[in-house]
Chain A
Amino acid sequence: KAGVTQTPRYLIKTRGQQVTLSCSPISGHRSVSWYQQTPGQGLQFLFEYFSETQRNKGNFPGRFSGRQFSNSRSEMNVSTLELGDSALYLCASSLGGDGKETQYFGPGTRLLVL
Protein backbone atom coordinates (compact mmCIF):
# COMPACT_ATOMS: atom_id res chain seq x y z
CA LYS A 1 0.00 0.00 0.00
CA ALA A 2 1.32 3.44 -0.83
CA GLY A 3 1.98 5.71 2.10
CA VAL A 4 0.81 9.22 2.75
CA THR A 5 1.96 11.61 0.03
CA GLN A 6 2.34 15.35 0.27
CA THR A 7 2.90 17.92 -2.44
CA PRO A 8 4.85 19.99 -2.95
CA ARG A 9 7.80 18.89 -0.85
CA TYR A 10 9.39 22.35 -0.76
CA LEU A 11 7.95 25.79 -1.20
CA ILE A 12 9.29 29.32 -1.01
CA LYS A 13 6.85 32.21 -0.65
CA THR A 14 7.03 35.85 0.36
CA ARG A 15 5.17 37.59 3.14
CA GLY A 16 1.57 38.39 2.31
CA GLN A 17 1.16 35.62 -0.23
CA GLN A 18 -1.02 32.59 0.25
CA VAL A 19 -0.15 28.93 -0.13
CA THR A 20 -2.01 25.66 -0.62
CA LEU A 21 -0.56 22.32 0.46
CA SER A 22 -1.93 18.95 -0.58
CA CYS A 23 -2.10 15.59 1.16
CA SER A 24 -3.21 12.20 -0.16
CA PRO A 25 -3.91 9.67 2.60
CA ILE A 26 -3.26 5.96 2.61
CA SER A 27 -5.88 4.15 0.58
CA GLY A 28 -8.91 3.40 2.75
CA HIS A 29 -8.05 6.00 5.36
CA ARG A 30 -10.75 8.59 5.83
CA SER A 31 -9.18 10.87 8.42
CA VAL A 32 -6.51 13.43 7.63
CA SER A 33 -4.76 15.54 10.25
CA TRP A 34 -2.34 18.40 9.79
CA TYR A 35 0.53 19.41 12.06
CA GLN A 36 3.01 22.25 12.02
CA GLN A 37 6.58 21.62 13.12
CA THR A 38 8.91 24.48 14.02
CA PRO A 39 12.14 24.53 16.05
CA GLY A 40 10.59 26.84 18.63
CA GLN A 41 7.12 25.34 19.11
CA GLY A 42 7.73 21.72 18.17
CA LEU A 43 4.89 19.70 16.69
CA GLN A 44 1.51 21.34 16.97
CA PHE A 45 -1.88 20.12 15.84
CA LEU A 46 -3.62 22.26 13.21
CA PHE A 47 -6.85 20.42 12.33
CA GLU A 48 -8.39 17.08 11.53
CA TYR A 49 -10.86 16.15 8.80
CA PHE A 50 -13.07 13.13 8.49
CA SER A 51 -15.58 12.55 5.71
CA GLU A 52 -15.12 16.10 4.42
CA THR A 53 -15.91 17.61 7.84
CA GLN A 54 -13.52 19.31 10.22
CA ARG A 55 -13.80 17.43 13.50
CA ASN A 56 -11.15 19.16 15.54
CA LYS A 57 -9.07 22.31 15.33
CA GLY A 58 -5.93 23.42 17.09
CA ASN A 59 -5.08 26.85 18.38
CA PHE A 60 -4.11 28.60 15.15
CA PRO A 61 -5.40 31.84 13.62
CA GLY A 62 -8.08 31.85 10.97
CA ARG A 63 -5.44 32.36 8.28
CA PHE A 64 -4.96 28.61 8.49
CA SER A 65 -7.76 26.66 6.87
CA GLY A 66 -8.29 23.32 5.28
CA ARG A 67 -10.70 21.10 3.48
CA GLN A 68 -11.18 17.49 2.56
CA PHE A 69 -12.54 16.09 -0.65
CA SER A 70 -14.81 13.12 -1.22
CA ASN A 71 -11.79 10.92 -2.06
CA SER A 72 -10.30 11.82 1.37
CA ARG A 73 -7.54 13.94 -0.13
CA SER A 74 -7.01 17.10 1.87
CA GLU A 75 -5.63 20.54 1.30
CA MET A 76 -4.57 23.19 3.76
CA ASN A 77 -4.34 26.84 2.96
CA VAL A 78 -2.45 29.61 4.67
CA SER A 79 -3.37 33.14 3.67
CA THR A 80 -1.41 36.35 4.25
CA LEU A 81 1.78 34.51 5.02
CA GLU A 82 4.01 35.69 7.85
CA LEU A 83 7.67 34.93 8.46
CA GLY A 84 6.66 32.80 11.44
CA ASP A 85 4.71 30.46 9.18
CA SER A 86 8.00 29.00 7.94
CA ALA A 87 7.80 25.40 9.08
CA LEU A 88 7.52 21.78 8.12
CA TYR A 89 3.86 20.96 7.58
CA LEU A 90 3.05 17.32 8.20
CA CYS A 91 -0.04 15.46 7.18
CA ALA A 92 -1.15 12.22 8.82
CA SER A 93 -3.85 9.78 7.88
CA SER A 94 -5.75 7.20 9.86
CA LEU A 95 -8.78 5.01 9.39
CA GLY A 96 -10.67 7.64 11.27
CA GLY A 97 -13.70 5.90 12.66
CA ASP A 98 -13.48 6.73 16.36
CA GLY A 99 -10.77 9.37 16.23
CA LYS A 100 -8.35 7.17 18.10
CA GLU A 101 -6.63 5.09 15.46
CA THR A 102 -2.93 5.17 14.75
CA GLN A 103 -1.80 8.04 12.56
CA TYR A 104 0.68 7.56 9.73
CA PHE A 105 2.65 10.54 8.54
CA GLY A 106 3.73 11.79 5.16
CA PRO A 107 7.18 13.26 4.40
CA GLY A 108 5.99 16.83 4.94
CA THR A 109 6.04 20.06 3.00
CA ARG A 110 8.79 22.46 3.99
CA LEU A 111 7.58 26.05 3.63
CA LEU A 112 9.95 28.98 3.74
CA VAL A 113 8.46 32.46 3.95
CA LEU A 114 10.79 35.30 2.97
Chain B
Amino acid sequence: GEDVEQSLFLSVREGDSSVINCTYTDSSSTYLYWYKQEPGAGLQLLTYIFSNMDMKQDQRLTVLLNKKDKHLSLRIADTQTGDSAIYFCALRGFQKLVFGTGTRLLVSP
Protein backbone atom coordinates (compact mmCIF):
# COMPACT_ATOMS: atom_id res chain seq x y z
CA GLY B 1 0.00 0.00 0.00
CA GLU B 2 0.92 3.66 -0.03
CA ASP B 3 3.40 4.94 2.49
CA VAL B 4 3.74 8.66 3.21
CA GLU B 5 6.37 9.89 5.64
CA GLN B 6 7.04 13.24 7.27
CA SER B 7 9.43 14.44 9.93
CA LEU B 8 7.62 14.79 13.23
CA PHE B 9 8.69 18.19 14.41
CA LEU B 10 10.02 21.52 13.14
CA SER B 11 10.84 24.60 15.20
CA VAL B 12 11.51 28.02 13.67
CA ARG B 13 11.64 31.65 14.74
CA GLU B 14 9.03 34.15 13.65
CA GLY B 15 10.00 35.73 10.34
CA ASP B 16 12.11 32.79 9.18
CA SER B 17 11.12 30.42 6.40
CA SER B 18 9.82 26.96 7.25
CA VAL B 19 10.26 23.93 5.02
CA ILE B 20 8.17 20.84 5.70
CA ASN B 21 9.11 17.69 3.82
CA CYS B 22 7.16 14.65 2.73
CA THR B 23 8.27 11.46 0.99
CA TYR B 24 5.99 8.87 -0.55
CA THR B 25 6.15 5.50 -2.27
CA ASP B 26 3.14 5.50 -4.63
CA SER B 27 3.74 7.67 -7.68
CA SER B 28 0.32 7.23 -9.27
CA SER B 29 -1.39 10.09 -7.42
CA THR B 30 -2.62 12.87 -9.64
CA TYR B 31 -2.93 15.46 -6.88
CA LEU B 32 -0.83 16.04 -3.78
CA TYR B 33 -2.14 18.19 -0.97
CA TRP B 34 -1.06 20.09 2.09
CA TYR B 35 -3.50 20.40 4.98
CA LYS B 36 -3.12 22.33 8.24
CA GLN B 37 -4.62 21.26 11.55
CA GLU B 38 -4.81 23.57 14.53
CA PRO B 39 -5.46 22.23 18.05
CA GLY B 40 -8.95 20.82 18.43
CA ALA B 41 -9.87 21.58 14.83
CA GLY B 42 -10.42 19.75 11.58
CA LEU B 43 -8.19 19.89 8.51
CA GLN B 44 -7.83 23.09 6.55
CA LEU B 45 -6.80 22.75 2.91
CA LEU B 46 -3.76 24.96 2.33
CA THR B 47 -2.75 24.20 -1.20
CA TYR B 48 -2.28 21.40 -3.69
CA ILE B 49 -0.18 20.58 -6.71
CA PHE B 50 -0.97 18.54 -9.78
CA SER B 51 1.44 15.71 -10.44
CA ASN B 52 2.65 17.15 -13.77
CA MET B 53 3.87 20.34 -12.06
CA ASP B 54 7.20 20.92 -10.35
CA MET B 55 6.31 24.01 -8.37
CA LYS B 56 3.33 26.03 -7.28
CA GLN B 57 3.35 29.32 -5.42
CA ASP B 58 0.40 30.65 -3.48
CA GLN B 59 1.15 33.85 -1.51
CA ARG B 60 3.50 32.79 1.32
CA LEU B 61 3.31 29.12 0.36
CA THR B 62 5.53 27.37 -2.16
CA VAL B 63 5.08 23.71 -3.01
CA LEU B 64 7.89 21.80 -4.67
CA LEU B 65 7.42 18.36 -6.20
CA ASN B 66 10.28 16.08 -7.18
CA LYS B 67 8.63 13.11 -8.86
CA LYS B 68 11.89 11.29 -9.48
CA ASP B 69 12.73 11.25 -5.78
CA LYS B 70 9.05 11.06 -4.72
CA HIS B 71 9.55 14.10 -2.54
CA LEU B 72 7.11 16.89 -1.79
CA SER B 73 7.85 20.00 0.24
CA LEU B 74 5.97 22.99 1.58
CA ARG B 75 7.81 26.23 2.17
CA ILE B 76 6.18 28.91 4.30
CA ALA B 77 7.81 32.30 3.89
CA ASP B 78 7.90 34.82 6.75
CA THR B 79 6.51 32.28 9.22
CA GLN B 80 4.20 33.73 11.85
CA THR B 81 3.17 32.45 15.28
CA GLY B 82 -0.27 31.81 13.82
CA ASP B 83 1.31 29.23 11.52
CA SER B 84 1.99 26.98 14.52
CA ALA B 85 0.01 23.82 13.79
CA ILE B 86 0.35 20.29 12.45
CA TYR B 87 0.86 20.04 8.70
CA PHE B 88 -0.14 16.96 6.73
CA CYS B 89 0.76 16.06 3.22
CA ALA B 90 -1.76 13.83 1.48
CA LEU B 91 -1.84 11.91 -1.76
CA ARG B 92 -5.06 11.61 -3.71
CA GLY B 93 -5.82 8.01 -4.42
CA PHE B 94 -9.05 6.93 -6.02
CA GLN B 95 -11.88 8.08 -3.77
CA LYS B 96 -9.63 8.56 -0.77
CA LEU B 97 -6.70 10.50 0.62
CA VAL B 98 -3.61 8.86 2.05
CA PHE B 99 -2.08 11.07 4.71
CA GLY B 100 1.41 11.49 5.99
CA THR B 101 2.22 11.25 9.66
CA GLY B 102 2.06 15.01 10.15
CA THR B 103 4.72 17.58 11.07
CA ARG B 104 4.21 19.74 14.12
CA LEU B 105 5.46 23.25 13.38
CA LEU B 106 6.30 25.43 16.36
CA VAL B 107 6.96 29.11 15.69
CA SER B 108 8.58 31.05 18.48
CA PRO B 109 8.51 34.86 18.75
Contact = CB atoms under 8 A, between A and B. Distances in A.
Chain A interface size, as a band, is 20 to 34
Contact of B99 (A43, A48, A99, A104): A43
A42 interface: yes
A90 B42 contact: yes
B100 to A, nearest CB: 8
6 tightest A-B contacts by CB? A43-B99, A99-B95, A105-B43, A56-B95, A107-B42, A45-B96
B42 A105 contact: yes
Interface string B23-60: 00000001101010000111111001000000000000
B102 A42 contact: yes
Contact of A104 (B45, B88, B94, B100): B45
Interface of B: 30-31, 33, 35, 40-45, 48, 88, 92, 94-102
27 contacts: A4-B42, A6-B42, A31-B95, A33-B95, A33-B96, A33-B97, A35-B97, A42-B99, A43-B97, A43-B102, A45-B98, A55-B95, A56-B96, A58-B96, A92-B43, A99-B94, A100-B30, A100-B31, A100-B94, A102-B31, A102-B33, A103-B45, A105-B42, A105-B43, A105-B45, A106-B42, A110-B40
A66 interface: no
A25 interface: no
Interface of B is mostly: strand
A48 B31 contact: no
